[in-house]
Structure 1
Amino acid sequence: MDHDHMHGGDMGGMASPPMSMNGTGGMMHRHKMMMHMTFFWGMNAEVLFSGWPGTSTKMYALSLVFVFALAILVEWLSGTHLIREGTNNVAAGMIQTMMHAIRVGLAYMVMLAVMSFNAGVFLAALAGHTLGFFVFGSRVFKKKAGSPSYQKTSDLPPMSC
């Protein structure tokens, strides 16, 4: 089978870019931005928003801190206990629902940031989740070391992906 014919021939196995007609009857090429599909190192990445962080070292560092903080916030929401005993069930259910929506939204933002395939962003998210779990989810900082296993440790059920 002739693979050159299927993939545009002279482009070394790559398909030629799509073309469209311009107003004068001539052809013009549409340029598509390439997205990384493997992890890469470097500061030239788009994290969450088009054009952010750009090529600035400071903005890249800010994006790493932002992803790190988002991951910690997800873990805090996963381990927090804000609803007091005796709270009305409807009010408690509304609070739980809002906390769940916020937690899932933030978790999806972290996931989308990681999907930039930038290794630094991945490591920032991993470090944020790790530190957040250590502080808010593990037994290290629990007030009652000998608390019974049936006691509720969070207002929200565990995350399931």
Structure 2
Amino acid sequence: MMEMSMPMSPPGSTNMTPGWPNMHHMTMHMNFYWGKDVLILFQGWPKDNLGMYILALAFVFFLSAAIEVLSIPHAVKPGSSPMIGLLIQVTVYAVRMALAYLVMLSVMSYNLGIFIVAVAGHGVGFLLVKIRALAAAAAANQAGPDPKV
């Protein structure tokens, strides 16, 4: 397995910052690998704890699914202010992009489990979006033709 040692401070310097562990022994994987020993998003999480690794997998899965669910354009209600509708759309878009960056950073850990749950989360989120769209289309078809036409 190819690993690259990444010193966190310049050669010859000492890491004397209070509260910070000695970071000279961290390794960064340059290829996909299996295992629960991974660092995702935050220092020390999930570390080498299996329960926390499973929680991290679930977290990435739900983040990925949320990205897809938030990709549905939300219609602005008739009669509401266009500016408020725009602000809501911008806020939802910003949240969606923040979640997408978190998933991207998680996948950059090169842990195969994280990659698989990220892809699965996107797939499940897309499925939920399509099921909702199909249900709305079926409801519109059952309502019959528009009497105004």
Q: Percent identity?
A: 43
Give the match for residue 65 of structure 1: 58
Give the match for residue 150 of structure 1: none
The answer to whether structure 1 residue 113 and structure 2 residue 111 are counterparts is no
* Aligned pairs for 1:90-105 within 5 A: 90-105=83-98
* TM-score normalised according to structure 2 size: 0.74
Deviation, 1:106, is 0.5
The answer to whether the 8 A contact 2:74-2:89 is kept is no
**Separation of aligned partners in 2, 1:118 and 1:20:** 31
* TM-score normalised according to structure 1 size: 0.68
Structure 1: gaps spanning 5 or more residues: 1-13, 22-29, 148-161
The letter of the residue matching 2:56 is S
Q: Alpha carbon RMSD of aligned pairs, Å?
A: 2.7
The letter of the residue matching 1:63 is A
**Separation of aligned partners in 2, 1:137 and 1:80:** 13
Q: Deviations over 1:15-68 (max 9, x none)?
A: xx92248xxxxxxxx825221111110000001111100111110000000000
The answer to whether structure 1 residue 45 and structure 2 residue 38 are counterparts is yes
The letter of the residue matching 1:75 is E
**Separation of aligned partners in 2, 1:133 and 1:41:** 26
Deviation, 1:143, is 1.0
Judging changes above 3 Å, is the alpha-carbon distance between structure 1 residues 20 and 143 closer, same or farther for their aligned structure 2 residues?
A: closer
Structure 2: gaps spanning 5 or more residues: 15-22, 141-149
Greater helix proportion: 2
Give the match for residue 79 of structure 1: 72
Give the match for residue 152 of structure 1: none
**Separation of aligned partners in 1, 2:44 and 2:58:** 17
The answer to whether the 8 A contact 1:48-1:112 is kept is yes
The answer to whether structure 1 residue 131 and structure 2 residue 124 are counterparts is yes
The higher radius of gyration belongs to 1
